[in-house]
């Protein structure tokens, strides 16, 4: 079974423009994309302060926020987001909300719903452009939209057996959207859940997005 960090990295690498490997750390970089997972360095446990400083310099040189993902919290660094990552446990879904697979002709609307769900509606057009480019090489990728009547209220991107990129405008759409994705994969569906979600993953763990800003001995994952 992959680790949560491995699952995130495998998922977001096809959605990124560049991957750089340095001293056991994989960094993904995607100009013009708001996706945290496609613009972060994936830290192994026990990373040293000198590595942190080098990563910060690299991100700044590429006009990218010095964002890192780790399996443990990083004391002293600003936290951006924490997620529970692991195999999704299917949950009850309200009958009035449906989720279905859609073609890539719906990519603009898909990106709009996703960005609106994150409070970033201004990023819809840039996200649509970067996803269109990335998905040209990801032929097996599947787009799903959740509907309440004729209104789109959720969006999810399924890559392989993982769906780490998803969002809804109504929490009632969370379970229908993830249940629909789970029905399309063989085995477990790996996903990411925010701390506020009542849904569950099995055998997973928290991952933490942080910014490498500041100095001092707190620059350690040990």
- Same domain as 171, residue 183: yes
- In-domain check, residue 104: yes
Summarised one tens digit per residue, pLDDT across range 153-202 is 999 999 999 999 999 999 999 999 999 999 999 999 999 999 888 899 99
- Same domain as 170, residue 108: yes
Summarised one tens digit per residue, pLDDT across range 201-215 is 998 799 999 999 865
- In-domain check, residue 218: no
- Same domain as 129, residue 46: no
What is the pTM assigned to this prediction? 0.92
User: What is the predicted pLDDT for the residue at 91?
Assistant: 86
Q: How much is the mean pLDDT over the chain?
A: 91
Whole-angstrom distance, CA of residue 99 vs CA of residue 45? 38
- In-domain check, residue 10: yes
- Same domain as 194, residue 122: yes
Summarised one tens digit per residue, pLDDT across range 106-145 is 999 999 999 999 999 999 999 999 999 999 988 889 999 9
- Same domain as 52, residue 150: no
- In-domain check, residue 179: yes
Domain that includes residue 20, residue range: 4-83+205-211
CATH number of the domain residue 193 falls in: 3.40.630.30
- Same domain as 100, residue 191: yes
- Same domain as 100, residue 76: no
- In-domain check, residue 220: no
- Same domain as 14, residue 76: yes
Whether 155 and 113 have beta carbons less than 8 Å apart is answered as yes
Whether 154 and 99 have beta carbons less than 8 Å apart is answered as yes
The CA distances from residue 116 to 16, 25, 27, 166, 179, in Å, are 21, 31, 27, 11, 21
- Same domain as 164, residue 99: yes
Terminal C-alpha separation, the chain: 24
- In-domain check, residue 8: yes
- Same domain as 60, residue 161: no
How many independent structural domains does the chain possess? Answer: 2
User: What is the predicted pLDDT for the residue at 214?
Assistant: 65
Q: Is 98 exposed, middle or buried (0-12, 13-18, 19+ CB in 10 A)?
A: middle
- In-domain check, residue 216: no
- Same domain as 110, residue 123: yes
- Same domain as 171, residue 132: yes
- In-domain check, residue 219: no
Residue 71 gets which letter from DSSP? S
User: What is the predicted pLDDT for the residue at 222?
Assistant: 27
Whole-angstrom distance, CA of residue 39 vs CA of residue 33? 8
């Amino acid at each position: 079974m992959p680790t949560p960090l491995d699952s995130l990295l495998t998922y977001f690498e096809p959605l990124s423009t560049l991957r750089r490997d340095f001293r056991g750390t994989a960094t993904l970089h995607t100009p013009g994309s708001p996706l945290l997972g496609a613009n972060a360095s994936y830290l192994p446990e026990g990373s040293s302060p000198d590595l942190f400083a080098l990563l910060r310099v690299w991100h700044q040189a590429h006009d990218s926020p010095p964002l890192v993902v780790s399996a443990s919290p990083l004391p002293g660094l600003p936290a951006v987001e924490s997620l529970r990552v692991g195999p999704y446990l299917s949950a009850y879904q309200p009958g009035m909300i449906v989720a279905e697979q859609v073609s890539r002709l719906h990519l603009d609307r898909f990106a709009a719903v996703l960005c609106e769900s994150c409070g970033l509606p201004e990023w819809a057009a840039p996200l649509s452009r970067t996803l269109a480019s990335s998905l040209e090489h990801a032929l097996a990728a599947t787009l799903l939209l959740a509907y309440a009547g004729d209104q789109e209220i959720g969006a999810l991107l399924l890559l392989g057996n993982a769906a780490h990129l998803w969002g809804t405008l109504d929490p009632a759409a969370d379970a229908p959207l993830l249940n629909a994705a789970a029905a399309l994969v063989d085995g477990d569906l790996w996903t990411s859940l925010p701390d506020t979600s009542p849904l569950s993953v099995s055998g997973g763990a928290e991952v933490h997005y942080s910014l490498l800003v500041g100095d001092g001995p707190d620059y350690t994952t040990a």
